[in-house]
Each structure stands twice: as C-alpha cells, then as structure tokens.
C-alpha cells in the first residue's frame, strides 16, 4: 500500500518590506506583546469615549513601559475643538513631567490615524514612535490623505507603524456610528408621530 503524504501547507512567512526611504508607511505584520497590550489599552480608552457619546478614539503615551499620559477623544464634553485623544494624552504627560518635550523613547499608541493638528503636536512634543490602529481615509495625515511625518522640513522625525489591532478599532468606530444613526432615525420617527 502506498501512503501518499499530504504536502505540508506551508505559507511563506510574509514580512513587510521595510524601506525607510519609501514614502509609503511601513506596516508590521507582527507586534510585540507590549505593543499589543498598550494598543488594547488605547482601545479601552476609545470605548470609554463612546460611552460619553464621543467618537471613540483613545491614545496612550508610554515611556519605559509606563503610562505617562492618556486620553480619549472628548471635544464635545470639553467644549474644545482641540480635545483629540492624542492632545489630551500629550498635555497630561507634559504637565506631569513639567516639560513641553517628552523623554526619548516615548511611544504614542492611538486607535485611529492622527489628523493634521495631532501630527503637528506629536512633532512639537518630540514623540519617538507613533503606532496607530485603523486608518482614517478622510482626514488621516499619516499616509491616507498626506504623509506629514516624512516631510523633510520638520526637524524631528517620528517612526510610524500602523495596523496594530486595526480591525478591533474599526469595529468600535463602526458600531458607534451605527448606534448613532439608529438613535437619530428613532428620534426622527418619534418627532413625526408628535
């Protein structure tokens, strides 16, 4: 009897090409346990924002594996157009450290691709690494609409990685907007019956 062995299903291990000169952003296909843990934390903050009716985006600043600042998107609650998760985390860290610049080796984990304002603030604060989850196709400034961090006129460059827990982040955002649409529809319906 001839036993035919099934060919092992070996997929070639796929690694993103890491070319720092490439204008396209690098994407990790694997992440450290620490990076994943901090992004999960940022996602929990995003979820907290959703509970307050804010678009769910969360951010955490980490240095030497310790949280130095955190926040979630809160422009409605704070009556402040600049109260994005990243800005709140930056302000908290700078206040706590009594310094407008952050220590070397600081990483910002944020659940959504930052906007123009936040990229600018991250550069001013000297954040070393930026890791974001989901892309923001409409206003994302780290590759979606423009890629600000790679512009040569800045005197500080941030290492950027994207895609960690992106599906989880997209899910939180989609379910937030779905609930909001449903609530708006319900309100509209109840107004009609009045």
Give me the residues that bind Zn ion (CB under 5 A), please.
Answer: 84, 115, 118
**At its nearest, how many Å lie between Zn ion and the CB of residue 110?**
9
Nearer to Zn ion by C-beta: 27 or 120? 120
> Buried b / exposed e across 1-32, counting CB within 10 Å, b at 16+?
eeeeeeeeeeeeeeeeeeeeeeeebebeeebe
- From 54, 74, 86, 136, active-site residue: 86
Nearer to Zn ion by C-beta: 10 or 81? 81
Q: What angle do helix axes 116-124 and 85-97 make, rounded to 10 degrees?
A: 20
Asked if 149 and 161 touch (Cβ cutoff 8 Å), the reply is no
Nearer to Zn ion by C-beta: 10 or 69? 69
**At its nearest, how many Å lie between Zn ion and the CB of residue 167?**
21
User: Is 29 a catalytic site residue?
Assistant: no
**At its nearest, how many Å lie between Zn ion and the CB of residue 80?**
12
Beta bridge partners of 161: 131
Structure tokens belonging to residue 95: 């206040």
Annotated active-site positions, please?
86
């Amino acid at each position: 009897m001839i036993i035919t062995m099934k060919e092992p299903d070996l997929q070639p291990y796929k690694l993103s090409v890491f070319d720092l000169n490439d204008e396209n952003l690098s994407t990790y296909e694997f992440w450290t346990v620490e990076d994943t843990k901090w992004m999960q934390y940022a996602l929990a903050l995003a979820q907290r924002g959703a509970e307050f009716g804010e678009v769910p985006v969360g951010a955490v600043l980490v240095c030497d594996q310790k949280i130095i600042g955190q926040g979630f998107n809160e422009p409605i609650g704070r009556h402040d157009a600049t109260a994005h998760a990243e800005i709140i985390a930056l302000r908290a860290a700078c206040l706590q450290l009594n310094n407008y610049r952050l220590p070397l080796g600081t990483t910002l984990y944020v659940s959504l691709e930052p906007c123009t304002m936040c990229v600018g603030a991250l550069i001013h604060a000297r954040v070393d690494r930026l890791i974001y989850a989901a892309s923001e196709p409409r206003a994302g400034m780290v590759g979606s609409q423009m890629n600000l961090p790679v512009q040569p006129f800045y005197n500080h460059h941030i290492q950027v990685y994207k895609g960690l827990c992106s599906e989880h982040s997209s899910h939180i955002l989609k379910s937030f907007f779905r609930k909001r649409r449903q609530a708006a529809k319900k309100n509209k319906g109840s107004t009609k019956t009045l």
